[in-house]
């Protein structure tokens, strides 16, 4: 029995990056031998065991064969005869197909170390094209290591293109897709993830609503970058630079989908794109079964982001309606995330990345003013039920009018 550290732990050590998760492969062992050593079995499809002390996962070396569609369409074979090289060849990228023994002796049959040095994301074997999830994984790695100069090898991008055209991507479950998408959006350069998906034709399959934005112009006076797709990538880039949470990044990706529906004869203006885009945002949310908080914020940002930009011009009554829509009294964090998404949208414009966004503090102040209206005096006046709600709304409107006047002076 021989035990090797494999995959990301080896890759990241060689890159000088922190190693978080460690995967282990056991060569030359049987299930019975593992159980005899105190390991506990957890693998449903192939033999995976938990270490009796550390709880880390150890998998028996295995081969795999394509037997159906999608990510799960494989049959696995694990036995003591399977070699380390046979186990490594089934992996996606050469940089993930290296192994180390307990003395840090490297096993690198597919030249992963060379590709690390040359900053290339390259597939290990033609079997790469059997697993559609790898399209998303490679795009995610491209986003993760973009800062180090990594690029997808042309021949790997071609395989990804073939996968995108094969119909295999449609076989991915919403849960698997969302896991990769959400992880990719939280990388330091999530815009690279979207760009790589577009480069290989996967974006128009997975998110045609986002893909449709590329080539759609916007008024240059407001958007020096002009192209709606480029703008979306820039907004996503800003959301990562400003360390925004997943909810905000997802909203940034989807906020302008309505612009893809504007007839060409109306370009570069996009009247009512906020409202038009809601059905598209809803469709993308449902397709990937995004978490509820991501879905809600994406829809609210899509509908109201131009309100955010025009905050200083809004009438007090419109401002109150905006605050009510976000339920700022019970869900203050959601409104804070809306403000963040609006600011990222404003910064995601060529040459305007550093421009201040006074609307942010103005909106926070308005929310504080509305929240500060006390209910008790109205109760003491005998208001209750619907009448109490209307009275509270009137008092909040008065307070916002005062706030608006003081801000203007």
- 156 & 32 share domain: no
- 232 & 193 share domain: yes
Q: Per-residue confidence at 43, pLDDT binned at 50, 70, 90?
A: low
Q: Per-residue confidence at 47, pLDDT binned at 50, 70, 90?
A: confident
**pLDDT of res. 100:** 97
Domain residues for the domain of 335 are 111-370
Q: Are 262 and 228 in contact (CB under 8 A)?
A: no
The domain that holds 1 is classified in CATH as: 3.30.460.10
- 336 & 244 share domain: yes
**Mean pLDDT, the chain, whole residue set:** 94
Number of domains in the chain: 3
Rg (CA), the chain: 26
Summarize the confidence of residues 309-330 as an average pLDDT.
96
Burial string for 264-298 (b: 16+ CB within 10 Å, else e) reads eeeebebeebbebbbebbbebbeebebeebbbbbb
User: pLDDT tens, 339-378?
Assistant: 999 999 999 999 999 999 999 999 999 999 999 999 999 9
Q: Are 24 and 10 in contact (CB under 8 A)?
A: no
**pLDDT of res. 72:** 53
- How far apart, in Å, are the Cα atoms of 319 and each of 307, 315, 367, 400? 9, 6, 9, 8
Q: Which of 67-71, 164-168, 307-311, 327-331 has the lowest mean pLDDT?
A: 67-71
**pLDDT of res. 78:** 82
User: pLDDT tens, 175-198?
Assistant: 999 999 999 999 999 999 999 999
- How long a stretch of residues is the chain? 409
Report CA 173 to chain centroid distance, whole Å.
16
Q: Which two tokens stand for residue 27?
A: 């060569």
* 51, pLDDT greater than 90: yes
Spatial distance between the Cα atoms of 37 and 377, rounded to a whole number of angstroms: 71
- Return the closest-CA partner of residue 22 out of 57, 48, 66: 57
Q: Per-residue confidence at 259, pLDDT binned at 50, 70, 90?
A: very high
Spatial distance between the Cα atoms of 89 and 275, rounded to a whole number of angstroms: 49
The domain that holds 278 is classified in CATH as: 1.10.3090.10
DSSP SS3 for 12 = helix
Q: Which two tokens stand for residue 234?
A: 């820039």
- 180 & 134 share domain: yes
Summarize the confidence of residues 100-124 as an average pLDDT.
97
- 101 & 125 share domain: no
- 294 & 389 share domain: no
């Amino acid at each position: 029995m021989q035990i090797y550290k494999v995959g990301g732990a080896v890759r990241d050590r060689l890159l000088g990056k922190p190693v978080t998760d460690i995967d282990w492969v056991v060569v030359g062992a049987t299930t019975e031998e593992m159980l005899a050593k105190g390991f506990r079995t957890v693998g449903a499809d192939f033999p995976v065991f938990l270490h009796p002390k550390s709880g880390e996962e150890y998998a028996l070396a295995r081969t795999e064969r394509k037997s159906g569609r999608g990510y799960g369409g494989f049959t696995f074979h694990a036995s003591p005869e399977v070699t380390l090289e046979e186990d490594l060849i089934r992996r996606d990228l050469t940089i993930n197909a290296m192994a180390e023994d307990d003395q840090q002796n490297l096993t690198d049959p597919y030249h992963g170390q060379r590709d690390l040095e040359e900053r290339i994301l390259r597939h290990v074997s033609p079997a790469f094209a059997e697993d559609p999830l790898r399209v998303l994984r490679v795009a995610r790695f491209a986003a993760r290591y973009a800062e180090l100069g990594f690029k997808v090898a042309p021949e790997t991008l071609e395989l990804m293109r073939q996968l995108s055209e094969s119909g295999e991507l449609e076989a991915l479950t919403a849960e698997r897709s969302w896991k990769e998408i959400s992880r990719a959006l939280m990388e330091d350069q999530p815009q690279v993830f979207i760009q790589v998906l577009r480069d290989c034709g996967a974006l128009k399959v997975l998110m045609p609503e986002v893909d449709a934005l590329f080539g759609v112009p916007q008024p240059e006076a407001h958007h020096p970058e002009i192209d709606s797709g480029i703008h979306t990538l820039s907004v996503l880039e800003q959301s990562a630079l400003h360390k925004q949470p997943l909810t905000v990044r997802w909203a940034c990706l989807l906020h302008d989908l309505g612009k893809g529906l504007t007839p060409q004869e109306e370009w570069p203006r996009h009247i009512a794109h906020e409202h038009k885009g809601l059905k598209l945002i809803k469709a993308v949310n449902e397709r990937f079964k995004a978490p509820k908080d991501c879905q809600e914020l994406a829809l609210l940002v899509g509908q109201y982001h131009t309100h955010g930009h025009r905050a200083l011009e809004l009438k007090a009554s419109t401002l109150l309606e905006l605050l009510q829509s976000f339920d700022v009294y019970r869900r203050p964090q959601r409104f804070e995330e809306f403000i963040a998404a609006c600011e990222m949208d404003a910064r995601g414009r060529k040459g305007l990345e550093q421009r201040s966004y006074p609307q942010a503090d103005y909106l926070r102040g308005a929310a504080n003013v509305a929240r500060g209206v006390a209910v008790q005096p109205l109760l003491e006046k005998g208001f209750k039920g619907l009448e109490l709600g209307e009275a509270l709304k009137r008092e909040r409107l008065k307070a916002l009018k005062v706030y608006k006047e003081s801000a203007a002076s």
